[in-house]
Homo-oligomer: A and B are copies of this chain.
Amino acid sequence: MDPAALERLLLEVQTGSVTPQQALRRLRDLPFEDIGFAKVDHHRALRRGFPEAIFGEGKTPAQVQGIVGRILDRRQNVLVTRTSADVHALLLREHPGAVFHAAARCITIVSTPAEALPGRLGIVCAGTSDIPVAEEAAVAAEFYGAEVDRVHDVGVAGLQRLLNHADSLRQADVLIVVAGMEGALPSVVGGLTEAPLIAVPTSVGYGASFQGLAALLAMLNSCASGIAVVNIDNGFGAAHLAATILRKCRARP
């Protein structure tokens, strides 16, 4: 029952053409979902506050184009992840503002930039091969309004490079730590910092890395407390969680 219909029913009660008991019966017979829908939908719109991203992998350029069109019709910003220069070229024809973030394999179309989130997000990655996942996280987080500090290529076997960034890392309000292979970086960063830390295993590696399983298991078993893990290569998911944490943060002074 849409609000207009509900209003009509209430008017009929007011005018006496429907008794309260009759109205009650009709309301009680409504599938509660229909009443709930508008409200939840409203909640849904408010809820995460972040426009949904399009997961580009396994979609044809035309499919991505179609979804992009529908999102833009709703006057929302667009983020496409796991995509390519080809898709970008196609989108550019109709949407000259489409930007391709090559390192992140992402496309953004932003008409009204997102409101700035409080706090700072530090994104750290272990090796150069992990950069695509780290950049996916960075581009997504910036799309959501986060201020991002990037620290790339600080693997645990070259500790000094990491230690040189320790103070910078300690200034982050949330940390995303991206690593493949043995997935040890979150433990080390977690031991040096105090912010909430989201670990992202990557499929970087070969042989007994089993496409990221080794890094995933390592991160789940981290000896540093206060670490949680997202799916393998899921830079976007980490950024989304980081944005929900930043939104809770006190404003930056």
Q: Is the CB of A127 within 8 A of B33?
A: no
A119 → B minimal CB distance (Å): 7
* A181 at the B interface (CB under 8 A): yes
Residue ID in chain B nearest A52 by CB atoms:
B225
A162 → B minimal CB distance (Å): 9
State the copy count for this chain: 8
* A24 at the B interface (CB under 8 A): yes
The stretch of A5-13, A85-93, A94-102, A107-115 in contact with B is: A5-13
Map CB proximity to B onto A156-185 as digits: 1 under 8 Å, 0 otherwise: 111110011111001001100000011110
Q: Is the CB of B166 within 8 A of A33?
A: yes
Residue ID in chain B nearest A183 by CB atoms:
B218
Partner of A206, one of B160, B206, B233: B233
Q: How far is the CA of A203 from the CA of B207 in the complex (A)?
A: 8
* A14 at the B interface (CB under 8 A): yes
Tell me which residues across on chain B come within 8 A of A199, comparing CB atoms: 228
* 17 extra A-B contacts, CB within 8 A, seeds A10-B21, A57-B206: A7-B21, A7-B24, A14-B14, A31-B166, A32-B39, A48-B226, A156-B187, A183-B218, A184-B218, A196-B248, A205-B221, A206-B231, A207-B233, A208-B217, A220-B230, A245-B245, A250-B251
